[in-house]
Amino acid sequence: MENATPHYVLLDGLRGVAALSVLVYHLFEGVAFAAGSSEQMMFHGFLAVDFFLILSGFVMGHAYDSRWHSMSFASFARRRLIRLHPMVILGVIIGLIVFLSQGAQRWDGTTMPPHIIALGTLLALLLLPSPAATDLRGNTEMFSLNGPHWSLFYEYLFNVIYALLLRRLATRWLRLWLVADGIMLLAYTVMGDDGTLGVGWSSSPLNMLGGLLRVGFDYPMGLLLARRFSKHRPATLSSALIFPLSAIIVVALLSMPSLHAFNPYYELCCTALAFPLIIWTAARAKDNRMDNLATSLGDISYPLYAIHYPLIYLYIGWLMAGSSPFGNSTWLTPTVLGLIAIIMAALATRYYDKPIRRWLAQHFNKE
C-alpha cells in the first residue's frame, strides 16, 4: 500500500513554505529589475530548491527503501510518474499559453516558427531538455516554457539512479558519495563564474554539470537522513513550536544577503547542515496541532512550484515593455501575480492534480 509507512505532515508543510519562498524569490527578481538593483531581497531564495530535493530524497528513502522486495522498477517508475507528471504537463501548457500570448517571441524579439514551437513543446511535455534550436525564449533555459522544470528533470534522473544504484549502497558508501560530491560541488562553485549554488537551470554544459553536482548532493543527503532517522525512535516534540520555528528559520536562511566570496560556503552549510537538521527535527514532531495548516501548505506546494513561473515571464515582459496592466507601482504587480499563482495552485490541486492522480492510480498502479 502507498501509505504503509508513517506520513510526516510537518514536512509537507515545510515543503509548502519552501514553494512560497521560491515564488517570492522569483517575484523579488522582478522587483529588483524594476528598481535597477543588482541584488534582490531574498538573495538565497534559490536554496529552497535544495531544501525540496533533500526532502524528496528523505521521502524516497523513507517510503521505498524497505519495499523493494515486493516492488519492481516498473512499479516504482509508474508511481513516480503518476505523482509528478500531471503537473509537468499542466505547467508546460500554461507556459505555452503565456508564450503565445507574448507574440511567440524570444526576448530579443525574434518570432519563433510554428514547427520549432511544436518541437520545443513536445520535448517539454516529455520533460526532456531543449537543445539550442528549440530554446524558445533565447535565454539558454533547459525548459524555456517553464524554467523551474529543470529541477524536476534532475529529480526524475535521480529517481532512476536511486532505484538502480543508490538504494543498494551501504550507508558508508552513501556517506563517501556525499563527501566526494560535496568537495566537487564546492570547488565548482568557488571557481565558477556564478559563485553560488544557483545553477542547473541552463542548457549550457557547464551549468548542467553544476546542476548534476548540486542535485547529486541534495538527493543522497535526504536518503542518508532517512536511513539514520529510521534507526532512532522519534521523540514527541511540539508541532506548535517546531513547525513555525522551522518555517521562520528556513525563510531566514533563504533571505540572507549576498556574502560575496563566502556565498559557496554559506550555501553548502545550509544544504549539508541546516536543512537536514530542520528536516530531522520537524519529522520528530508527532502531535497534530499544526496538521491542518501543514496539510494545506503541502497540498499546494508542488503545484505552485510547477506552474507559477509562466506568470514570471508575463511580469518580465511587462517590465521590459515599461508598462503593467496593474499600473506602475513597484509592489502591486508582483503582489497580484503572487496571489494569482497561489489561487491557480489551489485550483489545480483540487480540480486537476488530485483527481487525475487518483484516476491514474486506479487504472495503472494496481500492484
Task: Compute how many other C-beta atoms are within 10 angstroms of the C-beta atom of residue 266.
Answer: 17
- In-domain check, residue 4: no
Q: Which pLDDT band, with edges at 50, 70 and 90, does 329 fall under? A: confident
Residue in 116, 112, 264, 106 with CA at minimum distance from that of residue 188: 264
Cα(118)–Cα(113) distance, integer angstroms: 9
Mean pLDDT (whole number) for 285-293: 85
pLDDT, tens only, 200-235: 999 999 999 999 999 999 999 999 999 988 776 566
Domain count across the chain: 1
Cα(213)–Cα(236) distance, integer angstroms: 35
- In-domain check, residue 318: yes
Q: Which pLDDT band, with edges at 50, 70 and 90, does 36 fall under? A: confident
Distance of CA 338 to the CA centre of its chain: 17
> For all residues of the chain together, what is the average pLDDT?
93
Residue 244 has what pLDDT?
94
Task: With a cut of 90, say whether residue 33 has pLDDT above it.
Answer: no
Task: With a cut of 50, say whether residue 37 has pLDDT above it.
Answer: yes
Residue 233 has what pLDDT?
58
Residue 323 has what pLDDT?
87
DSSP-assigned states of every residue in 249-296: HHHHHHTPPP-GGGHHHHHHHIIIIIHHHHHHHHHTB---TTHHHHHH
pLDDT, tens only, 244-285: 999 999 999 999 999 999 999 999 999 999 999 999 999 988
Task: Compute how many other C-beta atoms are within 10 angstroms of the C-beta atom of residue 185.
Answer: 26
Residue 3 has what pLDDT?
42
- Burial class of residue 9, CB neighbours in 10 A (0-12, 13-18, 19+): buried
Mean pLDDT (whole number) for 170-191: 96
Cα(3)–Cα(59) distance, integer angstroms: 12
Mean pLDDT (whole number) for 158-162: 97
CB contact set of 364 (below 8 Å; sequence gap of 6+): 78, 82
Mean pLDDT (whole number) for 172-200: 94
User: How far is the CA of 160 from the CAs of 119, 142, 166, 279, in angstroms?
Assistant: 25, 20, 9, 23
Residue 365 has what pLDDT?
73
Mean pLDDT (whole number) for 133-146: 96
- In-domain check, residue 3: no
Q: What is the pTM of this model?
A: 0.95
Mean pLDDT (whole number) for 330-359: 96
- In-domain check, residue 33: yes
Residue 40 structural domain? 9-364
Cα(10)–Cα(239) distance, integer angstroms: 8
Least confident span in 65-69, 251-255, 273-277, 326-330: 326-330
Mean pLDDT (whole number) for 320-345: 92
Residue 306 has what pLDDT?
98
- In-domain check, residue 104: yes
Mean pLDDT (whole number) for 37-63: 93
Residue 8 has what pLDDT?
87
Tell me the CB-side half-sphere exposure of residue 263, using CA atoms within 13 A.
24
Residue 234 has what pLDDT?
60
- In-domain check, residue 77: yes
- In-domain check, residue 61: yes
Cα(309)–Cα(306) distance, integer angstroms: 8
- In-domain check, residue 333: yes
pLDDT, tens only, 74-128: 999 999 999 999 999 999 999 999 999 999 999 999 999 999 999 999 999 999 9
Mean pLDDT (whole number) for 183-191: 95
